[in-house]
Structure 1
């Protein structure tokens, strides 16, 4: 699969950036058009512990692109259209608990539809990376593997709950789905989960739609 219009950011630098943003709970669907200057600013926020500034940046991006992303996601996964419409309606009605749970279940299902593995199933034989990761990686040309920085490692959303105490950002799928976390239902977390679907859709679509 060929990336179309990838910005001339150094691959290793972009890979590290994607990893760092995923550690903060953000999966970056506009990675092919984000500028080097924006990357520098966001990384500086991370190292100065200004996580709220990172959140402001991505919330602004998703608010400005919300309707377009919603239409793309709903039409892309036609077999999941009814569920996704309900998830977005819940989001828009500020029923964030419902929206987040629905989005999380669909992330697993979307990966299963396209790659035969659930996203939130980790592989103990491969440093507990998502089991789906090698299959996603095979869909890309080798020179584009660096764009998978968001999912080539464990991040707070998919790691074991015993590891979460060392992370600044606390948003974990297992604790949400199994009823341990009862405070996850807010706008910020809903946008973070939406970012996961948008990022995965970008990978599946060959990066054509998200500019």
Structure 2
């Protein structure tokens, strides 16, 4: 091991260690803040970039987050659809139809389908209010053990914008709320950005819940 360390630039090792430290310092607050804006990271975003996105969320730079994630998923949606469809073959037709709806501007349909499939991957436990979040936490705990990805689960283990009780007075049109969508209370959510947010949640649970 010592021989291996000697082959690596000490400055590179130092930057890497600093990056890990910064990630750990802000991860608890950072992932919750990202989720408060409706965004969830996936397995293809690098650790350094994740840290940067969390810092943007902590600093309340919503415009940057909306622009970044919208462009990110605009260019990668089809590729990620293929990955999720192969991983969850029993859901593939639904997911492919949801992406088709998104690409054709049918954002009410795509948002609803993305949300339902994200919940399905979590055995119907994803969207719980504060009182019932314990069921989701127990489900995750049974799967995760000491897995590194468990640190990411704080994004869904806490009640946030997506699964809070729906109140139109507390939500603007760019905030996606599952209760409002699935119970027909919100009739203004059919926007591209909300469909992207729902898709980001689907990719998150597909990438990380199954790795626990």
TM-based fold match above 0.5: yes
Which residue of 2 is the match for residue 14 of structure 1? 27
Moved over 4 A (4+): 166-169
Which residue of 1 is the match for residue 51 of structure 2? 39
Alpha-carbon distance between aligned partners in 1 of 2:97 and 2:46, rounded to the nearest angstrom: 30
Q: Which residue, out of 24, 33, 52, partners 2:63?
A: 52
| Offset, 1:110 | 1.7
Matched, 1:202 2:207: yes
Q: Against the structure 1 CA distance between its residues 139 and 41, is the aligned structure 2 distance closer, same or farther, given a 3 Å change threshold? A: closer
CA RMSD of aligned residues (A): 2.8
Which residue of 1 is the match for residue 127 of structure 2? 120
Q: Give me the TM-score of the superposition, normalised by structure 2.
A: 0.78
Matched, 1:75 2:86: yes
The number of aligned residues is: 192
State which structure, 1 or 2, has the greater radius of gyration over its C-alpha atoms: 2
Q: Against the structure 1 CA distance between its residues 132 and 44, is the aligned structure 2 distance closer, same or farther, given a 3 Å change threshold? A: closer
Alpha-carbon distance between aligned partners in 2 of 1:151 and 1:201, rounded to the nearest angstrom: 13
Q: Which residue, out of 161, 165, 181, partners 2:170?
A: 165
Is the partner of 1:189 in helix, strand or coil?
helix
Q: Which residue, out of 100, 125, 141, partners 2:145?
A: 141
Which residue of 2 is the match for residue 4 of structure 1? none
Contact residue 123 and residue 131 of structure 1 kept, 8 A: no
Which is helix-richer, 1 or 2?
Answer: 2
Alpha-carbon distance between aligned partners in 2 of 1:108 and 1:118, rounded to the nearest angstrom: 6
Q: Against the structure 1 CA distance between its residues 32 and 164, is the aligned structure 2 distance closer, same or farther, given a 3 Å change threshold? A: farther
Deviation digits for residues 8-47 of structure 1 (CA, Å, limit 9, x no counterpart): 35334223221110011001114862316x6346524652
**Any unmatched runs of 5+ in structure 2?**
1-18
Q: Against the structure 1 CA distance between its residues 106 and 164, is the aligned structure 2 distance closer, same or farther, given a 3 Å change threshold? A: farther
